[in-house]
Structure 1
Amino acid sequence: MAYKELIGSFDEVRNYIREFFIYGIKKRSDFSDKSGRTYDNRRRQIESWLDGYMSFQQSASGKAQIISVDSREVVHNPLYKAFKTKNFSDYDILLHFCILDMLAGGKELAFRNIAGELQEYGFSGEENVINERTIRLKLQEYEKLGILKVRTEGKKKQYYSLSADAVDLVSWQDAIEFFSETEPMGVVGSFLLDRKELAGCQSNFWYKHHYMLHAIDSEIVETILEGIAEKKYLELVTSGKKHSEEKIKLYPIKLYVSTQNGREYVLGHVSGASGLDFIRVDRIKKVKTGIRCGEYQKFENEYQASKSYLWGVSSGNAKDITHIEMTVRAAEGEEFIVRRLEREKRNGHVYKITDQQYKYVVDTYDAMELMPWIRTFMGRIEKLESSNPQLKKKFDQDMEQLYSMYFGEAQNDIS
């Protein structure tokens, strides 16, 4: 039986792409759901979308297929193609073009007129019969999407017309391109770039750090942002240990995106738990909005009180707060060091001690999260102090290891 390139639901495809092609943690022999043919069909679907970006990796446990992309050479994220393969019926495609055609030129038509004119497009006879409910649902769908606008006259009579579309997309090309490759909902920009006004336009951007994997989570992110905007709970199904699933009720407060790897997290309050928690978006299998949260102000006040102590994705409470002070040398003509401190610090303060010494002071929930950033100032750090002794110990060990790599033996007087 031939496979179909088009899909009805993206949820299952998202999990296939994650587990088999991005992380490479599963192979065909690990596939236990349904049948092996189902896996083969999904694999062919994904390969048809990502032709030219697939490679193989051989290991003792078998051959794994992975997505291989050189971000320096790819301008547009290839994973967006998966969103452009949604299944549709013959009626979907016919109604789409017929409705847009009959409302073109600023026309405004009542429902009865639209249903009547559809008969002229071939929706008549026993084979092509289409009921009024199907037409009404399609009009309501397009109204929700913003394609159509509705004017109500009297109690029930409704008139439909096309929404205004006076945006000059060409003048926004650079903004749309940059948005499509850097923002969590960049798939919207990708669809805009497919419009005839922009199709074929040459890109003005190349990316040194191009984080593409977040693209497959766009539908999940959209629902998260909807929950944040409308102050609603989210009902999540997440992947747990040993492939188990966990149901979570979460009030979402903020979406965080890592500048190091592009990974996305949602910060919020988990129902039944205390404090705030981060949940990785790529571990969410399903999500839908729930009821409006009656305590949203309480949870958001809690976030405002704690956000100055957040460096990465570790939350906590007052007893977890660690104090850190780092003194850095910046000689004359090295003002860029001070600018780096000011620009890259996520919280805390920078103080000038002398003309060539500056101190960065911060209180944070997890001191070890700062370590990768602190290391970037090696050679300029004159003093590092912390209420968490493990931070200073780890830094000293790193310095000893570095000294040993270059000079052959560790020194005991490093401090």
Structure 2
Amino acid sequence: MSNFQELIKNFSKTREYVRDFFVYGFKTRNEFMDKSPRTYDNERRRLESWLGPFVQKDYVSGGFNISLAIDSNLLDFNPLFRVWKTKSFTDNDIVLHFLILDLLQDGRSLTAEEITDCLLTEYEAFFDIQTVRRKCNAYQKEGLLNKEKKGKTVLFFLDNTLARWLKSNETVMDALAFYQMAGCFGVIGNEILEQLEQSNRSFRVKHSFFVHTLEDEILLALFDAMNRRFTVELEIKSSKKGLVNTANCTPLQIFVSSRSGRRFLCGYVSKSKRFTCFRLDTIKHAVSLEPSPEYEDLQNKLERNRRQLWGVSFQGTERHHLDVLTMTLQVEEPGELYIVDRLKREGRGGDVTRIAENTWQYRREAFDCNEMLPWIRTFTGRILSLECTAKSVEQRFYHDLQTMYQMYQIGEHTNGTVF
């Protein structure tokens, strides 16, 4: 039996477990049905090792539930950044990492052959030239080393100019501290601060969505494809059924919910000839395919279509590309005109019209009027009528009201009365 290792090779599996513990939590060992009990034990132990102070155990009859209790309002960094700093390595990897960086600290420019010789003479460490060259090229690709070519000679060197400038500039420390609390790639700011032995002493974020840092690896691949205007192949795992499928699309924009922090990729799917939004937390892998010749045209088309979006859904009914929702409200004037102000402020471009004394109407076109229902329900008690060209939306609204009436044992209501 292999020994337990805290470090990991495959981040995607760990991402799912950390998300489960953080977002859902309150699951016992037997309730994790997708993986074996041994896998669950390993992931739980990793979680406790990385995030010990934030792990909460609740003992129940079937064992105990594991969850993560993290209050962003009280913390000066995102604890989930630690999950990104646990990649496994071989003995040669870690030895070469420190020796090569130490060797080049003085600013020397050396070839792979010279680095190999210096490792032997200065550190008594023997490595194959090809191994050293592969490591140097990998570090150059990741930005740890610089590379220049003089004739047929390839030289590697370490540029510490930025590090020295950062250390001497205190205002940059505040910028890094602020950046690490940002929504995208904050782990970069956190890593630089730790390398410079600094910390965030200035900023707290009242509503920060820590869990979404787990998607940054996918987000980086999508940004790269968008920057190069490439199509991508997505491997998507359904959040409801757990099924895995693939989809090809042209990635165009990232939508972020201001309420939940949830992020979506908006892309154009050629197969269905329409825009579609994919939740980032359901995307397991994203691979760039080929350049998209119509990228700019699709961006312009998306900008026009965004005016008819309520949330992130472009899926209208089969009969109508766009549906129209009309809501009639009872508003006592002048004492309740703040309701009218709210309609104008929150209605996302909908038309607000006074049609009679104490009666106002709200009208909005949208691709998917289903997305409007949670907001519509906040006006319950004032709604005189609700109509929609997508009859399923209208029926759902009245059905939900009837269910509520039955639940609270309220008499039946019909159209024309205040809901």
TM-score in terms of structure 1 length: 0.79
Contact 2:76 2:203 in 1 (8 A): no
Q: Distance in 1 between matches of 2:146 and 2:333?
A: 63
Aligned partner of 2:368 among 344, 366, 369: 366
Please name the residue that 1:43 is paired with.
Answer: 44
Q: Distance in 1 between matches of 2:119 and 2:212?
A: 41
Please name the residue that 2:283 is paired with.
Answer: 284
Q: Distance in 1 between matches of 2:336 and 2:85?
A: 50
List gaps (5 residues or longer) in structure 1: none
Please name the residue that 2:97 is paired with.
Answer: 96
Q: Distance in 1 between matches of 2:360 and 2:108?
A: 67
Please name the residue that 1:28 is paired with.
Answer: 29
Q: CA deviation at 1:82?
A: 0.8
SS at match of 2:224: helix
Name the amino acid aligned to 1:267: C
Please name the residue that 2:228 is paired with.
Answer: 230
- Which runs of structure 2 are paired with 1:5-404 in the superposition (5 Å)? 5-19=6-20, 22-24=23-25, 27-29=28-30, 36-56=37-57, 63-122=64-123, 124=124, 128-162=125-159, 164-165=161-162, 166-167=165-166, 170-199=170-199, 201-207=200-206, 209-240=207-238, 242-316=241-315, 319-324=320-325, 344=346, 346-347=348-349, 362-375=364-377, 387-388=389-390
Q: Distance in 2 between matches of 1:32 and 1:385?
A: 43
SS at match of 2:15: helix
Q: Distance in 2 between matches of 1:149 and 1:230?
A: 23
Aligned length: 408
- Gap change, CA 1:348 and 1:239, over 3 Å in 2: same
Deviations 1:107-131 (A, max 9, x none): 4334443333222342x4xxx4211
Name the amino acid aligned to 2:94: I
SS at match of 2:213: helix
Question: Which moves more between the two structures, 142-151 or 368-377?
Answer: 368-377
Name the amino acid aligned to 1:55: Q
Q: CA deviation at 1:83?
A: 0.7
SS at match of 1:189: helix
Q: Percent identity?
A: 32
SS at match of 1:243: coil
Contact 2:116 2:127 in 1 (8 A): no
List gaps (5 residues or longer) in structure 2: none
Aligned partner of 1:414 among 403, 408, 418: 418
Q: Distance in 1 between matches of 2:189 and 2:335?
A: 42
Contact 1:170 1:198 in 2 (8 A): no
- Gap change, CA 1:358 and 1:129, over 3 Å in 2: farther
- Gap change, CA 1:361 and 1:133, over 3 Å in 2: farther
SS at match of 2:265: strand
SS at match of 1:80: helix
Contact 1:311 1:369 in 2 (8 A): yes
SS at match of 2:232: strand
Q: Distance in 2 between matches of 1:333 and 1:174?
A: 47
Q: CA deviation at 1:365?
A: 0.7
Name the amino acid aligned to 1:227: A
Deviations 1:116-150 (A, max 9, x none): 3222342x4xxx42111222222222222223222
